[in-house]
A and B are shown apart, each in its own frame.
Chain A
Amino acid sequence: MQSEVMFAGFGGQGILLIAKILAHAAMEDGLEVAWVPSYGPEMRGGTAYCTVVISDRLIGSPIIRNPMHLVAMNRPSLEKFAPMVKPNGVILVNSTLISIDAGRDDVDELRVPVNEIAVRLGNVRSANIVALAAFAARARVVKMDTLRHCVKEEFASKEKLIPLNMAAVDEGEKAAAG
């Protein structure tokens, strides 16, 4: 069983970081993973995207044209990548910044105002963690306990940010259930 998750948004929204945390969690869950960034000639504020491949067997091609799931943090990302998602995948839409919907009736579209939630928690920069947790809770690609552990580990050198990001995980998980 293999699933692929594409993360996309503006440069600076923490796309590569949440993709890495998911890949780390999947590795800790004992799965094979590959984290593949886009590294074209891009700039701050441009689009950033990154694919995480998670599999229970050796991963062949790590380059994925049609991912199983999508986490879209801004509108251009949703417009560009929503048509590529495989049927029955999860599309997480950052509804604070994206007013349109995915335009698909064969996927599980999860709309979460991740920026709004992050601002409420005290720092908009945790919006990516809210999105990651909401997505992971809905798509069930990794164990939530493992994800919590990996978020903590990611911020180990910036300990004062851990409570904020753990709250972001809780709120994301709640939003996925609601």
Chain B
Amino acid sequence: MGKVLMKGNEAIGEAAIRAGCLNYFAYPITPQSEVAEYLSRRLPEVGGVFLQGESEVAVSYMILGAAATGERVFTTSSSPGISLMSEGISYIAGMQIPAVFVNIMRGGPGLGGILPSQADYLQATKGIGHGDCRLLVMAPASVQEAAEMTMRAFPLAEKYLNPVMILGDGLIGQMMEPVEFPDDLKTEPSKKDEWATNGMDTRGSNRRNLIRSLYLDPEVLNQHNLELKAKYDRMQQEEIRYEAYNTDSDYEVLIVSYGTMSRVCRTAVDQLQEQGMAVGMLRPQTVYPFPEEAVGNAAAKKSCLAVASIEMSMGQMLEDVQRSVKGRQPVHWFGKCGGEVPTPEEVIEFVRSLTK
């Protein structure tokens, strides 16, 4: 199969199937309902299961149930729906079972609006559910990347026995771009017999597998949390991904931006270059773990006078950028919210203001 023109939402659905996931449970919400529309048609064709839950809370526990049996399973939603799922996500992380959640973000808080936004950054990277739990969070900037990240998400969830999130925005979901589904990202599900509650007869074992998140003994629960922390530390070591743009030679300002916003910034960087001003950009592809060292090193470049966190939120990524830069440079924020996407011209004006 060569390149096809697809909406981001459809590409995410197709990518999951090609990654070997045949279970999708969801509840529709704009701007990601096309995933459900697409998979309701496509999954029965390939022998998969499409199920519309009665609410997002119910969906998160359907995901938990299927994941506990060792089946690849995923869901998609948008901001308010993800809030409803966050309880289940915490249980899934606590139970150490793999699942994939896709958040195609819209403006908030509350019901907010239906247009593209990056206003769930803090929720996704730091506060998805109660308790000491983290997700591995990848943020695509194109339909192609959304497809590839979806395909990678399943083996990563199995590697860490932890939920993985794709953090897109309404534009990534709604936009059509050419996409290819790389065969080499197709993976076989990892060995699940050690942990899955798939039946002792099924796995030919007389050992009982127990999945739980209740640990009443504080010592045992502390130990459990240390185990989880060790996984998150390992993510920091092994899973950080980012793209550096225009950073090979000197630059006066470093932009840190991800997802749709980074596309706008890329255009701004190109136009500034034509106007004679060199600006570099670092685009986190994983926002948790955050590319702390790469941002810090890029900001430490001698020519760099200022760092800008540019987002479609009110500065939610700013503190990650600040802690990466460690006070070596002033770190500024620029952004818009609620479905407003800053234009390249607005980014250019802001970046220019930093060196005046």
Is the beta-carbon distance between A39 and B267 smaller than 8 angstroms? no
Residues 107-149 of chain B, each 1 if its beta carbon lies under 8 Å from chain A, else 0: 0000000110000000000000000000000000000000000
Is the beta-carbon distance between B174 and A36 smaller than 8 angstroms? yes
- In the complex, which residue of chain A has the Cβ closest to the Cβ of B174? A39
Is the beta-carbon distance between B177 and A65 smaller than 8 angstroms? no
Enumerate chain A residues within 8 angstroms of B344, measured Cβ to Cβ: 60-61
- In the complex, which residue of chain B has the Cβ closest to the Cβ of A27? B178
Which of B31, B263, B264 has the most C-beta atoms of chain A within 10 angstroms of its own C-beta? B263
Q: Is B343 an interface residue (CB 8 A)?
A: yes
Enumerate chain B residues within 8 angstroms of A32, measured Cβ to Cβ: 178
Q: Is B30 an interface residue (CB 8 A)?
A: yes
- Bound complex: CA of A58 vs CA of B115, how far in Å? 24
Q: List B residues 155-190 near A (Cβ within 8 Å).
A: 170-171, 174-178
Is the beta-carbon distance between A39 and B114 smaller than 8 angstroms? yes
Q: Is B5 an interface residue (CB 8 A)?
A: yes
Is the beta-carbon distance between B263 and A60 smaller than 8 angstroms? yes
Enumerate chain B residues within 8 angstroms of A24, measured Cβ to Cβ: 5
Q: Is A23 an interface residue (CB 8 A)?
A: yes
What is the interface size of chain B, counting residues whose CB is below 8 A from a CB of the partner? 24
Q: Is A20 an interface residue (CB 8 A)?
A: yes
Is the beta-carbon distance between A23 and B5 smaller than 8 angstroms? yes
Q: List B residues 175-212 near A (Cβ within 8 Å).
A: 175-178
Asked whether A63 and B343 contact (CB < 8 A) given A35-B175, A35-B177, the answer is yes
Q: Is B270 an interface residue (CB 8 A)?
A: yes
Q: Is A40 an interface residue (CB 8 A)?
A: yes
Is the beta-carbon distance between B263 and A59 smaller than 8 angstroms? yes
Q: Is A34 an interface residue (CB 8 A)?
A: yes
- Bound complex: CA of A58 vs CA of B270, how far in Å? 12
Enumerate chain B residues within 8 angstroms of A59, measured Cβ to Cβ: 263
Asked whether A36 and B264 contact (CB < 8 A) given A27-B3, A27-B178, A61-B344, the answer is no
Enumerate chain B residues within 8 angstroms of A63, measured Cβ to Cβ: 171, 260, 264, 341, 343
Is the beta-carbon distance between A60 and B177 smaller than 8 angstroms? no
Q: Is B266 an interface residue (CB 8 A)?
A: yes
Q: List B residues 223-257 near A (Cβ within 8 Å).
A: none
Is the beta-carbon distance between B174 and A37 smaller than 8 angstroms? yes
- Bound complex: CA of A61 vs CA of B260, how far in Å? 8
Q: Is A62 an interface residue (CB 8 A)?
A: yes
* B126 → A minimal CB distance (Å): 28
- Which B residues contact A (CB, under 8 angstroms)? 3, 5, 30-31, 114-115, 170-171, 174-178, 260, 263-264, 266-268, 270, 341, 343-345
CB-based closest 10 A-B pairs: A60-B267, A35-B176, A60-B266, A61-B264, A61-B267, A27-B178, A39-B174, A24-B5, A36-B175, A61-B263
- Which A residues contact B (CB, under 8 angstroms)? 20, 23-24, 27, 32-37, 39-41, 58-63, 65
Given contacts A33-B177, A62-B171, 8 further A-B contacts (CB under 8 A): A23-B176, A33-B5, A35-B5, A36-B175, A62-B175, A63-B264, A63-B341, A65-B345
Write 20 A-B pairs (CB below 8 A) sorted by A numbering. Answer: A20-B176, A23-B176, A33-B176, A33-B178, A34-B176, A36-B171, A36-B174, A37-B174, A37-B175, A39-B114, A59-B263, A60-B263, A60-B264, A60-B270, A61-B263, A61-B264, A61-B268, A62-B171, A62-B175, A62-B263
